[in-house]
Amino acid sequence: MTTIASLSAAELGPLFAARSLSPVEVARDALERIERFEPQINAFVVRDAEATLAMAEASQARWLKGEPLGPLDGVPVTIKDNIGVAGWPMRRGSAVASDAAFAEDAPATARLREAGTVFLGKTTMPEYGWKGVGDSPLSGITRNPWNIATGPGGSSAGAASCAALNLGCLHLGTDGAGSVRIPAAFTGVVGLKPTYGRVPAWPVSTMGFLAHLGPLTRTVTDCALAMNAIGRPDIRDMTAMIDRAPDYVDGLKGGVKGLRLAWSPTLGRDVPVDPEIAALTRAAALAFRELGATVEEVDPGFDDPIETLMTIWSAGAALALRSAGPAERARMDPGLVAVAEQGDKVAGAAYVDALLNQRNLLAHKMAQFHARFDLLLTPTLPLPAFETGRNTPGHGAYGDDWTRWTPFTYPFNITQAPAISLPCGLTGAGLPAGLQVVGAFGRDALVLRAAAAFETARPFARIDAPVGSNRAG
């Protein structure tokens, strides 16, 4: 039976136009389910039901007059806590940040407002997005709906948990080292890191050229719809693309016949991949052969760029905490403070070398690789979701550093290339696995097209309510 909770963004517009469903009904349904599930998953830091319903009522009036602002008018959305929303605080997961209302919409938020979407609230993240899990001093632990004893990953933690339960159809996240794709993989949803600059940002991230904005959704079509809205220029971001994004929805139709795909199960490194994840992602990669693509197992041939990442990342953390004194730091995530202290020691020459020379070397190597292969396929993560309250899985295979269990995501922040995580099956314990599809710089439309072909051939599993009980954290 079709329920409001099962509908995608692409399905809502035609129903609004036919007057068989209204934006107010959809908003009320989302608010009711948020109220019911939020005690279990803890995905929001800001909720404003009055503002949500006012936006829904305005959308409903436009549809009744036959004057919608576009296909997303009335579609409910959420926005991560490090993205500005006029009138709501932006605390970036930090308990020491100001709770004053932010003065203006960020570019992506503004584009969604202009499209007539309905804001449900702001979603949780670890403090300043510094790690790949979903707890913070501000909001506590966010949980994974597939098993609430596990975490959804991060840093777009609340966005992913909301996407998994369809608490809103479109969810804005950010990705500086995997922070859209990591939680997308753990929660069984679609998560796109677009080409850097495709979605403008303001205020700019202290992580600089690593930081991308992108959507988390239940379907690839909804992801493309979101990109049509947010992939537009904004003069506040001097590094953003100045051309408007193509119609990504229209571009979904081409399939993958004749494309050359590379499957790399470990990126050529000694990565301990969970056997179930290895089997699920390999089967998913090889499924592209059935769709008419050639798939060859081959590694792109670059060394682990972790030092490049951490030079830029730690310096960015130091910048983010530059005005925080000892009393404030004592209330912050100790891991974030440690990374910032590491960043304080980064020399200017080392930072420039990482930001320009090392990053460009890797980007050049991947450009040469994509001259041979249209797309690169990898696991998104080497393991399924793990217990909450940890920064790492808690066993020796991945060490004590969270970046060690995310080896497939951060290289493509360094190259700034588009990459998407697609759900590709469930482990025996019922936890999702993610397949990553990486394209050449600027080839977002091709990445989405391949994702749509895979989704059609291998429909994704869905979840309607949180599973399990609070056994951890």
Displacement of CA 106 from its chain's centroid (Å): 17
Displacement of CA 381 from its chain's centroid (Å): 14
From the candidates 59, 136, 155, 161, which is the catalytic residue? Answer: 155
From the candidates 59, 80, 131, 139, which is the catalytic residue? Answer: 80
Amino acid identity, position 140: G
Active site residue 155: yes
Q: Using omega within 30 degrees of 0 as the cis cutoff, is the peptide bond preceding 68 cis?
A: no
Rounded Cα–Cα distance for residues 333 and 330 (Å): 8
Rounded Cα–Cα distance for residues 348 and 345 (Å): 9
Nearest to 377 by CA among 442, 307, 280, 468: 280
Rounded Cα–Cα distance for residues 156 and 143 (Å): 12
From the candidates 179, 205, 264, 314, which is the catalytic residue? Answer: 179
Whether the CB-CB separation of 91 and 99 falls below 8 Å is answered with yes
Cα–Cα–Cα angle for 416, 176, 95, rounded to 5 degrees: 160
Q: Is 149 left (phi over 0), alpha (psi -120 to 50) or beta?
A: alpha
Active site residue 136: no
Active site residue 179: yes
Q: Known catalytic residues? A: 80, 155, 179
